[in-house]
């Protein structure tokens, strides 16, 4: 079970990055183009929201079953950069990213018919994307 969850979490990360990036770029294009935020644009925001939430659920389960998660939490773990990344930094930043993306989507869906929905999604999805990119364990991902 652990290995399957680990592979799902790693594989889904690509979809999360792609979905959030597409949603962000589409929102930025709409904002800069002075377009009106429509229901179609709201649905495009779901490309970032849905895989992010699914990833969060899998990550939460992994946090409690993985030897790199809660089981590693100790004072000594905070002195080791890699362990600290898995125990504290990665989970915390990903939770904040999920919250920002969720808030951005929730606020934007109420702004249909204005240009403000694009601004909201650009800001919140952009911040979420920055947080995600800042705390991906790149050494494990690319190594």
81-105 pLDDT tens trace: 888 888 899 999 999 999 999 999 9
Phi, psi torsion values for 132, nearest 5 degrees: -60, -50
pLDDT band at 139; cut points 50, 70, 90: confident
Average pLDDT over residues 34-51: 97
Half-sphere exposure of 3 (CA within 13 A, CB side): 0
Q: What are the DSSP calls for 80-103, one per residue?
A: SHHHHIIIIIHHHHHHHHHHHHHH
- Assigned token pair, 69: 């998660």
Q: Residue 26 burial (CB < 10 Å; 0-12/13-18/19+)?
A: buried
pLDDT band at 19; cut points 50, 70, 90: very high
């Amino acid at each position: 079970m652990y290995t399957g969850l680990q592979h799902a979490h790693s594989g889904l990360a690509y979809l999360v990055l792609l979905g959030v990036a597409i949603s962000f770029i589409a929102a930025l294009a709409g904002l800069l183009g002075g377009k009106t935020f429509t229901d179609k644009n709201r649905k495009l925001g779901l490309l970032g929201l849905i895989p992010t939430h699914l990833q969060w659920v899998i990550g939460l389960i992994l946090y409690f079953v993985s030897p790199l998660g809660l089981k590693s939490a100790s004072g000594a773990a905070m002195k080791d950069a890699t362990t600290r990344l898995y125990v504290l930094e990665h989970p915390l930043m990903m939770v904040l990213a999920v919250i920002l993306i969720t808030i951005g989507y929730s606020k934007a869906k109420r702004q249909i018919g204005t240009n403000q929905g694009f601004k909201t999604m650009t800001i919140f999805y952009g911040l979420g994307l920055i947080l995600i990119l800042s705390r991906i364990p790149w050494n494990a991902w690319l190594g």
